[in-house]
Amino acid sequence: MRALVTGCAGFIGSHLTEALLADGLQVLGIDCFNDNYQRPPKLQNLNHQAKDWDHFEFVPIDLSLGDLDEIVAEADVVFHLAAEPGVRASWGARFERYVRNNVIATQHLLEALQASPGKRFVYASSSSIYGDAETFPTPETVTPRPLSPYGMTKLSGEHLCRLYAANHGLYTVALRYFTVYGPRQRPDMAFHLFCRAAIEGEPITVFGDGRQTRDFTFVDDIVAGTRAASSADVEPGSVFNLGGGSQTSVRETLDIIAGLAGRELDVTYAEKEHGDVRDTSADTSAARTQLGFDPQTSLEQGLAAEFEWMREFLGSPASARP
């Protein structure tokens, strides 16, 4: 079996790619190294895959521009994780990149899949599509109300999956990831910043009062849920929440990190940024029933794993700041 993984050099994509390779699948990886963060960490992820696995092939291509028919035809299943990430950067001049990389790229892949009926298309969406939800835990049936341009583009990708499933018979499954963390987390994400600052003794800025909560989900659990979506007997066009079940305030996570660092943290609280929601919490009953989704990693275990990874990462060339 051959899997196509877009965004294979990124945070979640690299973990998914390695899990597939470890189980003996052939993987065709795609990444265009967009400039949302520095290239060295992505290259480090990619070099590890290429060095350790003979059945990995990499194609550097921009999904919004390239001819994808031949690439899609070679795969038995498509995991579409490539995206322009981040809520705060999606305003203003960068919005065009979000449309190109989150909407147009998704549409190009779905168009290419029309020539290969029956293949599963697993789309990585985001809890950002909910905005400030009115129901907690939030089920998939709640009307999405994104609070950021990023969330809007990810919801657009979901709509594309549904309409291609309904009109062209494609077998799509969309997954709404809730605040994924763990080793290799993107440099702009909170736990990456907090762990790095705790180790280096630098100050931490939290946007908001720190009492906002998130349903934090460890990357290994996200990978397990994503893989399950590629083979479970579900309806084409289905959508599932993937959350870790550890809705926790930012202040509580900082206490855990302080314990791992063995020191008090220098934390400053600032005004919340546009697009940041107050709380998130996933109702994962559908994913548990239909995908067998069962997250195994507690927040304490996951943060300890990310903290130890950060110690190693800070000793590598890829950790250099811009």
Task: Give catalytic residue positions.
Answer: 150
> By C-alpha distance, which of 37, 14, 41, 30 is closest to 222?
14
CB atoms within 10 A of CB 169: 11
Cα 152 from Cα 163, distance rounded (Å): 16
Torsion sign, CA atoms 224, 183, 298, 141: negative
Residue 277, both tokens: 């929601």
Write the CB contacts of 144 (distance below 8 Å, at least 6 apart in sequence).
129, 130, 131, 151, 155
Query: Are β-strands 26-30 and 120-126 bridged in parallel, bridged antiparallel, or unpaired?
Result: unpaired
3-state secondary structure string across 102-149: HHHHHHHHHHHHCCCCCCEEEEEEEHHHCCCCCCCCECCCCCCCCCCH
> By C-alpha distance, which of 55, 68, 54, 82 is closest to 1?
55
CA angle 46, 49, 52 (to 5 degrees): 145
Residue at 137: amino acid letter: P
Dmax (CA) of the chain:
57
Question: Residue 42, CB half-sphere, CA atoms under 13 Å: how many?
Answer: 20
